[in-house]
Amino acid sequence: MMQNFWAGMQGVLGLALATALLSLPGKGQEGQNELIPPEAPGPLPISTFSIVACDPAAGELGVAVASRFFAVGSVVPWAKAGVGAVATQSFANTSFGWRGLELLEKGISPEEAIRELLRNDDNPARRQVGMVAPDGKSATYTGENCVPWAGGRSGANYAVQGNILTGEAVVLAMEKAFLESGGTLAERMYAALLAGDEQGGDSRGKQSTALLVVKSGAGYGGYTDRAIDIRVDDHPEPFRELGRLLNFGQMNYAWNEAWTLFSEKKYAEALPPMERTAALAPDNAEVLYDLAVIRLAAGKAETALEGLKKSLTLNPQLKKQAAGDNDLAALRENAEFRALVGD
């Protein structure tokens, strides 16, 4: 397999780290709060809007978040395949992430899990959290002292929430975009972020974004659940940059799925996700090389040669690898193959 590494997101260090994010009334569903100044100097509020969501049919759970805060993806999103997804923000208690997942794993509902987290918290009035379970149950909470506008909405398969927003229109637009857009879970969550930003988003501006999707065995080699894990830590146009990275993330997700199945010798099952990968990255030589390998394993030698020819045209340096690659051994006596690799 061609190894693929997607790097991006150079963060420019600056700005002191803060700690605050979303907000909704005690029980979730919808609401807003009056401004209550901080009692004493401390962490600045992380102005943030996020969505936690699931696609039960696809077995996916995810979180997408944006903020005027450096590296919001290092604080807010938490998710575990088959367990749930959590967004913890607004003077965020990051333990709500892993502790929330532990509670969900025990079979506790999102609403009950949030109540349990707040019961033992030292500052519940300033917390904001959204949570969704694999069956689509969800809840969102905004403490009464979150900086306005702060609030959220929840329904089957999603919860959206935000704090220090330009207004309620942000979360309403996010909800509408998620419910009405098509595509993958990642695409629908990204659509929700874009819709929130179009309504003004974070009242202080924009800086960072993140998007996480988990699914059992979807990570590299099938060893983790990280299907898509992308972050823009510091960028003048973080939404645009997240969209660029999402294109790579979805391609890589399909590629990992295909190669994991190929490694398990499930060649026919590996072919559809590999074809999907190639459709997402039609000019990526390494993707086309692996497409040739999997097509050949699935008994499609003719189309395997077509893919290999395009791959080696795009990157002639792969010829030496192809000549000695045991995954292409069935082609070694083929005259066209020999001509392609220069043998």
Residues of CATH 3.60.20.10 domain(s) within the chain?
A: 48-255
Q: What is the CA radius of gyration of the chain?
A: 23
Note the pLDDT of residue 42. Answer: 52
Note the pLDDT of residue 203. Answer: 75
Note the pLDDT of residue 204. Answer: 79
Strand residue runs (E) in 219-336: 226-232
Nearest to 141 by CA among 47, 15, 33, 238: 33
Query: What is the CATH number assigned to the segment(s) 48-255?
Result: 3.60.20.10
Note the pLDDT of residue 45. Answer: 55
Q: What is the pTM of this model?
A: 0.84
Note the pLDDT of residue 201. Answer: 79
Note the pLDDT of residue 8. Answer: 36
Structure tokens of 66?
């944006």
> What is the mean pLDDT of each successive set of 10 residues along the chain, which is 343 residues long?
38 33 36 40 67 98 95 97 97 97 98 97 97 98 96 98 94 98 97 95 86 96 95 96 97 96 96 97 97 98 96 96 96 94 83
**Cα 61 from Cα 44, distance rounded (Å):** 30
Note the pLDDT of residue 278. Answer: 97
Instruction: Give 3: exposed, middle or buried? Use CB within 10 Å, 0-12, 13-18, 19+.
Output: exposed
